[in-house]
Amino acid sequence: MTLLHIETSTKNCSVGISRNGEMLCLCEEYDDNYGHSEKLHQFVNWALEGAEISLKDIDGVCVSKGPGSYTGLRIGVSAAKGFCFGLNIPLYSLTSLEILAESQIDKGFDLIIPMIDARRMEVYTAVFDGNGNQLSEIEAKILDETSFQEFADKKIVFVGDGVEKSKSILNLPNAEFILDVHPSAQFMIHLAEAKVLQNLQEDVAYFEPFYLKEFVAGVKKA
């Protein structure tokens, strides 16, 4: 099974190609300006070249459905659906938080708490155990000094771009804070393989990103 992986939920535009659970090629770049629309298809082409295959060799596409950047998710999901329609191949999806949690499994932590910045003091988050099993629903959580105090006796790792603002206010002595890890195609491979084995395909025609919160357009600054 050869899979194309697309992750665009944050400022990291990430594309990977795997075969039978092994990464063949990874192309990604972290961009503060969210240049996903210009880079995504170029990264797909580079990944195909690096893997020494063509689009017709792709058996399925796995895309990050969010939550995260509204624009980034629309770009990634639209591309994934286009590939699936054009090639007549199945679509699989993962949440951005389970992808982020995958980066920290089996590292000796009791709990993994990924955080994606949702602006101000709010983050998209959920709680996972040390093996990556999701223990709570995904939520948009406003952080304060009482957040996650019920886990004060646990060895916790917080990971993602929402960690920077949480580190200064969370009083958790057994916690580690990892800021420089982002949702990436490299963390999608094993999760995607599990979806394939369970035949958990999405309906390509009706699949939409998981925004969690409704989009509210702001006024463009002068």
pLDDT tens, residue order, the chain (222 aa): 999 999 999 999 999 999 999 999 999 999 988 889 999 999 999 999 999 999 999 999 999 999 999 999 999 999 999 999 999 999 999 999 999 999 999 999 999 999 999 988 999 999 999 999 999 999 999 999 999 999 999 999 999 999 999 988 998 989 999 999 999 999 999 999 999 999 999 999 999 999 997 655 445 554
Please state which CATH number belongs to domain 104-178.
3.30.420.40
- What pLDDT does 141 receive? 97
94 near 191, Cβ under 8 Å? yes
This prediction has a pTM of: 0.94
| Alpha-carbon separation of residue 52 from 18, 57, 159 (angstroms) | 12, 10, 33
CATH superfamily of 2-95+183-197: ATPase, nucleotide binding domain (3.30.420.40)
Phi, psi of 172 (to 5 degrees): -130, 100
CATH 3.30.420.40 domain position(s) in the chain:
2-95+183-197, 104-178
Structure tokens, 147? 């957040």
- What pLDDT does 119 receive? 86
Quick one: which of 213, 191, 76 has its CA closest to 140? 213
Q: Give the span between the Cα atoms of 8 and 5, in whole angstroms.
A: 10
3 near 17, Cβ under 8 Å? yes
Beta bridge partners of 23: 18
> If DSSP codes are grouped into helix, strand and coil, which group holds residue 210?
coil
Tally of helices (H runs) and strands (E runs) in the chain: 5, 11
- What pLDDT does 34 receive? 85
